[in-house]
A and B are shown apart, each in its own frame.
Chain A
C-alpha cells in the first residue's frame, strides 16, 4: 500500500512569489491534514479535511494560505504571496475514517522563502 506522498520535496522561492504544495493521501482515507514545522519550533496543525470539506482550519496562519481538496482525493496548499516567515517543512497526513485514528504522515515539502 502506497503511503502519503507530497510534491515537491523541496521548493525555493522569492518573497512575494506563489507556491503550491500537493498532497496525495493514502487511498481511501477520508481525513487529510496539513501541518507545518518552522525552524526550531514544534510541528503545528494547519487544517483538516474530511473528504472535500474543511472540518477545521483553525491553524491557518492568515489569508495568504489557501487549501483545497476538490473531489476529496488529493489536496493542494497554496501560499500567495509567500513571506520569509513561511519557510519551513509542510507535512500532510491522512487517516481512514470519521473516528479519530492514527494519522500517517508524508515526507514533507521543505519550503524556503528568500
Chain B
C-alpha cells in the first residue's frame, strides 16, 4: 500500500551547519511531494514542494531533491538556525488522484548552539 517513511526519527546538528533530512516513498505513481515543518504547538507549515518532472528545487536556504529511481526524497537546510528546530514531515500525493496527503512519521531536527 501507500507509505511514506523517514530514515531517522531524530537529527541533531550544530548551528550554522547544513542538515539533510531523508524520506522514502513506496507509491511509484506519486507525482507531487511536499515538505512540512511543524513547531511545537503549531500545525504543519509548508516549506517547499516538488513535482515528479523535476529532480531538484531550491528555496530560501532549503533544497529538495527527488530521486524517482530509488523513490527517495530529501530536504537540505543550509546554515541552520535555532528557529529551524522542529519536526519535519514529507508528504506525497498523486495530482490527478484523490487529494489526500500521505505523510511520513516525521524527523525531529534539533539545532545545537
User: What is the interface of chain A, defined by CB distance below 8 A to chain B?
Assistant: 4, 6, 31, 33, 35, 41-45, 48, 55-56, 58-59, 91, 93, 95, 99-100, 102-108
Contact = CB atoms under 8 A, between A and B. Distances in A.
Of the four ranges (under 10, 10 to 19, 20 to 34, 35 or more), the interface on chain B belongs to 20 to 34
A31 B99 CA distance: 9
B59 to A, nearest CB: 13
Given A41-B105, A42-B105, A43-B89, A106 B99 contact: no
Contact of B32 (A42, A100, A104, A106): A100
Nearest to A108: B43
B45 A100 contact: no
29 contacts: A41-B105, A42-B104, A42-B105, A42-B106, A43-B89, A43-B91, A44-B103, A45-B101, A45-B102, A48-B98, A48-B99, A56-B99, A58-B98, A58-B100, A59-B100, A91-B43, A95-B99, A99-B95, A100-B95, A102-B34, A102-B46, A102-B49, A103-B101, A105-B36, A105-B44, A106-B43, A107-B41, A107-B42, A107-B43
Contacts of B43: 4, 6, 91, 93, 105-108
Given A43-B101, A45-B101, A107-B43, 8 more contacts: A6-B43, A33-B101, A42-B103, A48-B100, A55-B99, A56-B98, A100-B93, A105-B45
A90 B100 CA distance: 15
Contacts of B4: 42
B34 to A, nearest CB: 7
Contacts of A43: 44, 89, 91, 101, 103
Contacts of A33: 99-101
Contacts of B45: 105
Nearest to A41: B105
Contacts of B104: 42
- A35, A99, A100: residue with the most chain B Cβ atoms closer than 10 Å: A100
A58 B1 CA distance: 14
Contacts of A105: 36, 43-45
